[in-house]
Amino acid sequence: MRVAKKYKGLLAQMGSILEEDMDSLQVSNAAEDLREGLVSIKVNAAYEGMAAGGPIKKTIRERMVMIAAVLEYASTQTGISVDLLAAVAWAESKMLPYAINVRGKAYYFISRERALEALRGLETDEVDIGLFQVNYRLWGEPLGLQKEDLLDSRVCAIIGAMILRYNLQRHRDPWVAIGRYHSGNTRRIRAYQTKVSRGLMIIRMLSMTSDTSEGSTLHGVSRVIRENPAFRREAQLDS
């Protein structure tokens, strides 16, 4: 399999976690009931350009509730905070578990079945799949997974969180690490850092205004910013 030497240790760690938990992961998808009504819709300017404020905060709040168990599981397995994982998931897939990206074109599906049908029709392994948009050729195939496995939010979240942890350990600047999760291209890194930064700020506001019924879901959502001064640079990234 096409596995870069520098990733062999990381892949071994991922494989160990997945081997232990795969049986339970395959029978439980915490986001299975998510119904967003987005069927095979290519991302467009109107969707990307939703105004900050009520609508976007409401969307993030609702989707965080849907994937809360997934984020908490990945966090306990990797040590990456829930709020950072949530912000990355927002930047990658808008927190939609059945997102697929082929050659830069993003598609969203309302069910695993429809996403699976689309995956089976692909003639390439160069595809980003799921909640954390894990690239199948680089990660899924070397781990011995099928494309459909990455539609399981917990499987996808574990792999995404492990990649993010690897980058955070490798780079002194956490924003560089976050940008490298998405791309090696400087311009794309910058744009991605801004997406994650904005997501973090919204999530932090939600944690400060959440009522008691949502408290457990959004608990500690701003901790990653408070504990790491480097994350306070979000204002610079937005400028």
User: In whole angstroms, how far apart are CA 87 and each of 56, 121, 222?
Assistant: 13, 30, 11
One pLDDT digit (tens) per residue for the chain, 239 residues: 344 455 666 667 777 766 665 555 443 343 333 333 333 333 333 333 333 334 888 888 889 889 999 999 999 989 999 999 999 999 999 999 999 999 889 999 989 999 999 999 998 999 999 999 999 999 999 888 999 999 999 999 999 999 999 999 889 999 999 999 999 899 999 999 999 999 989 988 887 775 544 444 444 434 443 444 444 444 344 43
Of 144, 148, 94, 140, the closest CA to residue 121 belongs to: 148
Quote the number of domains for the chain.
1
* Residues 198, 203, 204, 206, Cα dihedral to 10°: 130
**For the chain, what is the mean pLDDT?**
76
Domain range for 48 is: 5-238
Rounded CA separation 62/103 (Å)? 29
- Domain at 149, CATH number: 1.10.530
190: left (phi over 0), alpha (psi -120 to 50) or beta: alpha
Two tokens at 92?
């990658």
The answer to whether 211 and 230 have CB atoms below 8 angstroms apart is no
Residue 62: CB atoms within 10 A of its CB come to 12
Rounded CA separation 199/206 (Å)? 11
User: Scanning the structure block, which residue is given the tokens 């967003």?
Assistant: 36
User: In whole angstroms, how far apart are CA 22 and each of 66, 88, 93, 131?
Assistant: 21, 23, 23, 17
